[in-house]
Copies of this chain bind each other. A is one copy, B any other.
Amino acid sequence: MKVQLDCFPCFLRQVVIALRLCTKDKELEERVIKSVLPEVERTDMSKSPAHTTTFIHRKIRQMLGTDPFREVKHEYNEHALGLYPSLMDRIKNSPDPLLTSARLAIAGNIIDFGIFSSVDIESTVERALNGPIEADDYPAFRKAVDASHDILYLADNAGEIVFDRMLIETLNGFGKCVTVAVKGSPVLNDATIEDAGQAGITGLCEVVDNGSDCIGTILDMTSKEFNRIFDNSGLVISKGQGNFETLMNERREKIFFLFQSKCDVVSRELGVPLKSMLLKEHGEKNPLKKGL
């Protein structure tokens, strides 16, 4: 997906969100937001918005210190782990554990752990379990899972990664060999190897880092080792809008995107309402819209 005009205000909105989480120092806020403007000016309109936000977040980290989100991410994981036992029970007792755990993995992407409250969580989980999936390729997903032994799972955020664990455990139960990829270094609230450990995933399957601090998965910037794993994967489960933005124009077999459409640009281009749940197939035989 390429940068569009509407992305520009959103670049700065994301800086505001990041700053609100990390500091109350007004002078620092001003210095940071003004310092990212040259990064915004360098935006390459032929690339995904995630390219620009990657550079923006590098700048923010450089100015605020190492991983300003570390504490917040720890809290998100803790919150999510509190929900884990009862949600795993629901998966085990459901008629279709793969669908239920896929829906919960999308729920993990919907939940804004930054404004966590039990009420928000409960209603989001219920919506994710029972609400419509706007782009619903579940039958193809089920078939692809059945046909694959090795699955690459691209994680997105801290907190959410506990919900990913539920889907991974379900896939393990089907005898699948899942490799989970996390970020190579801290960026925003994205999950790293540390979060995978806290979420209890490192004991369940192989966890690799992608060697990159990018928003989403920018294959030009991820490690050779990660690219090798990605290229050899028969099935990729990709979580979150950042991974969708950066991978949807890659002509690879076979990716399923599980996420919520969180911005007008993505929603408009996909022709779905804002905040839709998506379980969307992408591959050589089913390419997503090319101009995006």
Contact = CB atoms under 8 A, between A and B. Distances in A.
Chain A, interface residues (CB within 8 Å), range: 20 to 34
A215 to B, nearest CB: 17
A43 B29 CA distance: 13
Contacts of A6: 16
A45 interface: yes
User: Which of A8, A26, A38: most chain B Cβ within 10 A?
Assistant: A8
A55 to B, nearest CB: 14
A180 interface: no
Contacts of A13: 9
A41 B31 CA distance: 10
Q: Which 10 pairs across A and B sit closest by C-beta, in order of nearness? A: A9-B12, A9-B13, A9-B9, A8-B12, A37-B41, A37-B37, A34-B41, A5-B29, A8-B33, A5-B16
25 contacts: A5-B16, A5-B19, A5-B20, A5-B29, A5-B30, A5-B33, A6-B16, A8-B12, A8-B15, A8-B33, A9-B10, A9-B12, A9-B13, A9-B15, A9-B16, A11-B12, A12-B12, A26-B45, A30-B45, A34-B40, A34-B41, A37-B37, A37-B38, A37-B40, A37-B41
Interface of A: 5-6, 8-13, 15-16, 19-20, 26, 29-30, 33-34, 37-38, 40-41, 43, 45
